[in-house]
Structure 1
């Protein structure tokens, strides 16, 4: 058995309500618009219905707090959700309000709920719940946003054009997310956009949304099937809905709409926000439509500071013909983000980075940038984490975890959210420090380093955002199991403050075009990393395969290398070790081409793991020891060196070099304790590995101490149900077996097996490992049929996933041989031992004691088959090997002596058997010791000496089998004792035997 590793505000009219308008008859246009909220009829209708009083409970969970507002379609109140302990916004539509529209308003409200619930984006107001109340009112429960509408925000104070544009860009991203989901808003306007106190912009009021006839995006993901109410007409023929002031010509004419219709409304609102005037004149419906069709745009104020490139992008969006507008919101957003001034600054920064030694140029450029920057650009860095990790996402994470229904969900949320809070706080602190450092003209560190630090932290922000986006996407039981470890695996922020590591990293490309393409792709790479951190290997592999043509077309080695590294990580997680190895060899070439020392060090460590620990090509893995250590030493970072040492310690352990392995592990542990927190998962893994070495050296008590310390760290960090716990449970199970505590061993292995099946899938190599170890315990307990079944399933799974020549396959053959021998099927047992031995002997660089252990098992089986000479040859070879390694591990020699003692006893040579059996007892593994007691008891009895001691030893063996629950052996030894105790326990040779002793 082997333990496993393993420009100003708008001057605009009061906000309009959404209108329902008659579609114009061909050849004629209506001459006026009828605002639904301005007629006496509408006012009386809204005023006639009182809102629910404060304190009333709706839908058995929402306690009414206050009225927030009302409009043409509903009443909005604030309420307290007693189930999830949070404040929400409830939008209500009473049946009496919609009598004139044949229930269309209720259908519209349900559409709003369905639309928004399908979206999960930081720039869209989140919908929690929807339904009907006791009086058949329709309601939706939404995220309560402390803040104001975008229109109120614009009117609050004059705002620079950049600030206005930034807000609209966020709203545009929310619209783009809706379009990606196959939805068109149809009523985008500043009143339907909220600006929270946290600064984040959110689009709301999707009550007029409908399924897009065409989203305008060729690469939009396939949308989920639409609910029935989405495919039914909302209004009767001859009706259009929306707010004319922001409607596109096709919408005003009642024609089909798509994403470009929303784009038009967005550009109307953006024009108003930037210039403070409407883009089109007209006070009637007909005048509005004529101006839009003729594209008679009101010129901007002559004193406007809005640059021409922004105006061009907005005017493209105001084209009457939808085909002449940008094809999608994302295309428009890219235009609005493509600031020539920013590109010029990027070129200057790149020049600075390329010529790091030209201090005067550096100082001049950074001084100029300081003049351009706001007075306090380093204040409020927490705002940069809006939509990355903020209060809304924290709430969303709690919600999706609770929705899994898992008992550990609440505990996992607390742990994961706490870690994310700490990571975010650390990022804000470091980002502000880096910003101040960059602003100081005569900082002690060079400005090039300050720029690299800012770049590093922005990469960390992207990686954090990719992970949190994945965690809050949907309820996923697997993510509950892996959330804490996923957050723990985020790259450390400390790297961004380490000058040595910053200069070892590859700076961003100097060419602005290449840099823009690389930065765009990095968002996808961040998602690939996040999928791995979350343990979603199959999804990650599919994503990686889809990205390979794109990353290849970039032709940028540093990015290609990192991408292939994470692709290999997914292959390893899925159990495809050969595929991972192949990609890692490509990564090493790309790392050298890109001069990425950090990636090179990581790739060498990972390659050694794949070749050695995963595929058991130990000799080849040891040939890679020098380049691995050289790459880690050259990088000069303690944590990377610790990873390298741990990797090599694992290979040395697997080749039986226990002292060398222990040395590597202890050096790695010392480096980690100096470089990281004592409660880190890396430290727990090293403690686990050290326990493996100590266990193989027979130091079981010390090994158990290491395993228990590792388990305690993991449980504090991850909880009790995390899959990483399975590794330590597995090894503790082995320790308990070695100590003869079989019930505890079985419980540990069964729990580890269940965890691995649940988190890794039933066909993962680690599942086979747990099956093997559980089968060994069942054998020790005499449950032979169950043990046989477990080992047969383990063997088939290992052959399928690891290949027929893997050493773990040899382990399964040997274990099956032991079970067959216990079933007294010695011929079949011999075949399995011979197959296992042949596999062991073909492995170059493998631990020679492993082949010798199989030879010992084979030799003992040959004894039972009466093939004594053949048995003697095998057992003598075991003895020779055991004598060579006795100083480091005396157990093999003990096994050889035990087998030779059995051979002499079979040959009716008890006097030759007794000294061999006596000497074997001290170092035999516990699981074999009871067998040795009974064998020695029989030798003593048959030799006619010390028969009371023979009975004592047999009694001790019987008690061992009783405690183990091995009914077969218990019955056999009990029967022997019945026939060999009593008066026959003493004889004429007892005194001689005693005197001889």
Structure 2
């Protein structure tokens, strides 16, 4: 009900109805609404919701308690410790002399009929059999004075689960582990035919040992058919802030009602606030109407938690919570166990069921599995197309996240249709033509965005972002760059500063890997400037950005500062997230590379091995980042002169990357490094084959002018020089020198290395004057670069020794 005037009419009608006796309200509403069926339905639903929530929205002083008798059975009440819509809770002690025991007694309101009392006692006998470590035990039950039922429960000392997360400053993984304890307890109750109906943080305590205990199963509903009479005869009781839509509307409760409540509990655990917190203190009607209005905004868009970041919530966890909170029970997780399993999949970095329709999420995994030509067989195309058709559901999730349902639904359909056409067209091109690669399919789709969405820039930007992220996932920087730039070109139309910062950071990483460090620096600074406007909210984005910041410092030659940036980031990451997580492993990888650049080979190898071990413990040993770590580790052994270990690690990394990812810029870099080891061990033919493959791949995925592509050209020349040099080698090296100096400048280490190779070639062919001059130029540049160039000075010494043997003089000066 988005029309304020319409709600005012409903509000006035319900206010008037509440003045009448309960039995007269329905007929009065029918008469008052006349023929306006919509108005009658809305007012009736709201009135039912208020009836259901009666007693839970007290904002003034609590009424005085009716005193309990001095003794209830074997129990002596001592003091009141809580009061709510379902009665009072007293601290009590056993007084029959058998043994000492402290308990909590819940005294329920005296509205039970004799038939209700019989049903209540039968239910308590069933609930007493719920023996689970996560459920506070029901010890006893009975009927006190004035027919007031009471329940005697295990007394649990602890903090509510949200308060525990806040006070202990728990990282995300530990919060999810706590939540999984809750799921285990609720799932156990469901297996025994019991629904809680009032799950909320206050009913979930965490003790000093970090164990979760669920309270208040005493108001739960049994699921057997014989419980229906009591359910119909007694008024529903729940807390509106954590109630499911079917409870607010007076509908049927089930295990899926608890799934919804768990979604709200998880929301508050991770975002630091409940989705309806802003409505606290408002009128009953406004609160309940908001509950009826639909799902809340995504936790990533509402978080105020200083520990769990927007980036950590965005994606899997937004989707998981969104699925649990769907208004239609059948659209939620089918069980608490299914919810728990999706949390487990997220923790293990596996695809979660809640995102089964997400475009880029599913397609990234499809591209990883099918990096070979994606239209080689119809089955492959159909498999990917099925995943893409589900994009409609992904954009229904986007509706949840942005709270602009109609716009996002239309945009989602447009994106779905466009990507679907992309693969359908690829399939149609199969007959009689060479199979298309994943990159070619994405490139063709990207080329048509301007024509397809000329009048809809917001949807065009969404398609660009989806395709750009897919190019990045397959390490295709050439394909990713124009798409990310295209998004920024539509930034004003999109009007999403959070997304803009992320796109700038992704583009910074892209152009950095293409060798454009100044541009990468500028883009990084822009992204960081936005994140620093709210450093508590974007603390993890800032932490992650330190890795690129460090890489840029290394590239500029300030290696010591690069190491300091990473070491500080590692300390902060450990404090926030602990030692066993992906971010820690990635930072150790970057630190390993930084130490290798600094010439501290022992520290570099140690950090790389530490990162690799952590990736393997996390179940990510064959992932992209772990393979980058393998590359660094092998490079460390190579620089240390341990060629056998270097070859072993490079061979392992190549095999894993070929199998998992296929052609990419990262694969090209790895092949290039492996070929260099083979060159050093004298296997020129094998080295030449790998270098040739790397060169083609680097030009395709990183760009012909990228540092990677230019490095592969240098390696090819070095392999040629080690064998039978071709007649055009001098001209090829000269052109390479010009290209490197044009794109990266004469002071770049790659320029010095090319000059050094030219000197070696000149010495080999007898041009001593040119060799001597080039050697002096190369040595000066390498010495100026410091530690990163130290290993190449050894090559310079070798060339100098060759020249001195040829001339019999000292050619250093």
TM-score calculated relative to the size of structure 2: 0.58
Q: Which residues of 2 match residues 697-776 of structure 1 at below 5 A?
A: 697-776=556-635
**Distance in 2, Cα, partners of 1:833 & 1:859:** 10
Aligned partner of 1:661 in structure 2 is 520
Does 2:534 match 1:685? Answer: no
Aligned partner of 1:433 in structure 2 is 278
Q: Which residues of 2 match residues 156-555 of structure 1 at below 5 A?
A: 177=187, 180-181=190-191, 183=192, 202-203=216-217, 262-264=224-226, 266-270=227-231, 273=234, 338-339=249-250, 423-424=271-272, 426-427=273-274, 431-436=276-281, 451=290, 457=296, 460=299, 489-490=312-313, 516-517=327-328, 520-521=331-332, 527=339, 531=343, 534-538=346-350, 540=352
User: Relative to structure 1, is the Cα distance of residues 420 and 846 closer, same or farther in structure 2, using a 3 angstrom cutoff?
Assistant: farther
**Distance in 1, Cα, partners of 2:142 & 2:523:** 60
802, 805, 808: which one aligns with 2:666: 808
**Distance in 1, Cα, partners of 2:644 & 2:314:** 48
Aligned partner of 2:209 in structure 1 is none
User: Relative to structure 1, is the Cα distance of residues 900 and 180 closer, same or farther in structure 2, using a 3 angstrom cutoff?
Assistant: same
User: Secondary structure of the equivalent of 1:762?
Assistant: coil
User: Relative to structure 1, is the Cα distance of residues 928 and 263 closer, same or farther in structure 2, using a 3 angstrom cutoff?
Assistant: same
Query: Could you tell me how far 1:875 is from its partner in structure 2?
Result: 1.9
Aligned partner of 2:133 in structure 1 is 127
User: Relative to structure 1, is the Cα distance of residues 580 and 766 closer, same or farther in structure 2, using a 3 angstrom cutoff?
Assistant: farther
Query: Could you tell me how far 1:595 is from its partner in structure 2?
Result: 1.5
> Contact (CA 8 Å) 2:630, 2:653: kept in 1 or not?
yes
Root-mean-square deviation (Å): 5.7
User: Secondary structure of the equivalent of 2:216?
Assistant: strand
136, 146, 149: which one aligns with 1:143: 136
The structure with the largest alpha-carbon Rg is: 1
Aligned partner of 1:799 in structure 2 is 658
> Contact (CA 8 Å) 2:512, 2:520: kept in 1 or not?
yes
Query: Could you tell me how far 1:642 is from its partner in structure 2?
Result: 0.7
Query: 5+ residue gaps in structure 1?
Result: 1-6, 9-45, 48-64, 80-86, 90-110, 118-125, 129-141, 159-172, 207-245, 247-258, 275-305, 308-332, 343-382, 394-418, 442-446, 468-483, 496-507, 509-513, 549-562, 951-996
> Contact (CA 8 Å) 1:568, 1:584: kept in 2 or not?
no
User: Relative to structure 1, is the Cα distance of residues 743 and 911 closer, same or farther in structure 2, using a 3 angstrom cutoff?
Assistant: same
User: Relative to structure 1, is the Cα distance of residues 778 and 527 closer, same or farther in structure 2, using a 3 angstrom cutoff?
Assistant: same
User: Secondary structure of the equivalent of 2:745?
Assistant: coil
User: Relative to structure 1, is the Cα distance of residues 789 and 859 closer, same or farther in structure 2, using a 3 angstrom cutoff?
Assistant: same
**Distance in 2, Cα, partners of 1:639 & 1:189:** 39
Aligned partner of 2:535 in structure 1 is 676
User: Relative to structure 1, is the Cα distance of residues 154 and 671 closer, same or farther in structure 2, using a 3 angstrom cutoff?
Assistant: farther
> Contact (CA 8 Å) 1:853, 1:892: kept in 2 or not?
yes
**Distance in 1, Cα, partners of 2:149 & 2:489:** 60
**Distance in 2, Cα, partners of 1:197 & 1:726:** 33
**Distance in 2, Cα, partners of 1:608 & 1:684:** 26
**Distance in 1, Cα, partners of 2:626 & 2:681:** 25
- Listed one character per residue, the Cα deviations across residues 319-346 of structure 1 (whole Å, up to 9, x for unaligned) are xxxxxxxxxxxxxx9987643899xxxx
**Distance in 2, Cα, partners of 1:940 & 1:608:** 54
User: Relative to structure 1, is the Cα distance of residues 884 and 175 closer, same or farther in structure 2, using a 3 angstrom cutoff?
Assistant: closer
Aligned partner of 1:862 in structure 2 is 720
**Distance in 2, Cα, partners of 1:589 & 1:636:** 18
Query: Could you tell me how far 1:717 is from its partner in structure 2?
Result: 1.3
Query: Could you tell me how far 1:750 is from its partner in structure 2?
Result: 0.7
- Listed one character per residue, the Cα deviations across residues 142-187 of structure 1 (whole Å, up to 9, x for unaligned) are 6368x996967996599xxxxxxxxxxxxxx999955753x458xx
- Listed one character per residue, the Cα deviations across residues 245-288 of structure 1 (whole Å, up to 9, x for unaligned) are x9xxxxxxxxxxxx86x331x335446755xxxxxxxxxxxxxx
Matched residue count: 576
User: Relative to structure 1, is the Cα distance of residues 189 and 932 closer, same or farther in structure 2, using a 3 angstrom cutoff?
Assistant: closer
User: Relative to structure 1, is the Cα distance of residues 619 and 811 closer, same or farther in structure 2, using a 3 angstrom cutoff?
Assistant: closer
> Contact (CA 8 Å) 1:575, 1:765: kept in 2 or not?
no
**Distance in 1, Cα, partners of 2:659 & 2:145:** 62
**Distance in 2, Cα, partners of 1:663 & 1:566:** 29
Q: Which residues of 2 match residues 780-929 of structure 1 at below 5 A?
A: 780-803=639-662, 805-843=663-701, 845=703, 847-867=705-725, 869-887=727-745, 890-924=748-782, 925-926=788-789, 928-929=791-792
TM-score calculated relative to the size of structure 1: 0.48
Does 2:462 match 1:639? Answer: no
Query: Could you tell me how far 1:534 is from its partner in structure 2?
Result: 3.4
**Distance in 2, Cα, partners of 1:649 & 1:453:** 43
Query: Could you tell me how far 1:760 is from its partner in structure 2?
Result: 3.7
Aligned partner of 1:318 in structure 2 is none
> Contact (CA 8 Å) 2:465, 2:484: kept in 1 or not?
no
Query: Could you tell me how far 1:433 is from its partner in structure 2?
Result: 3.2
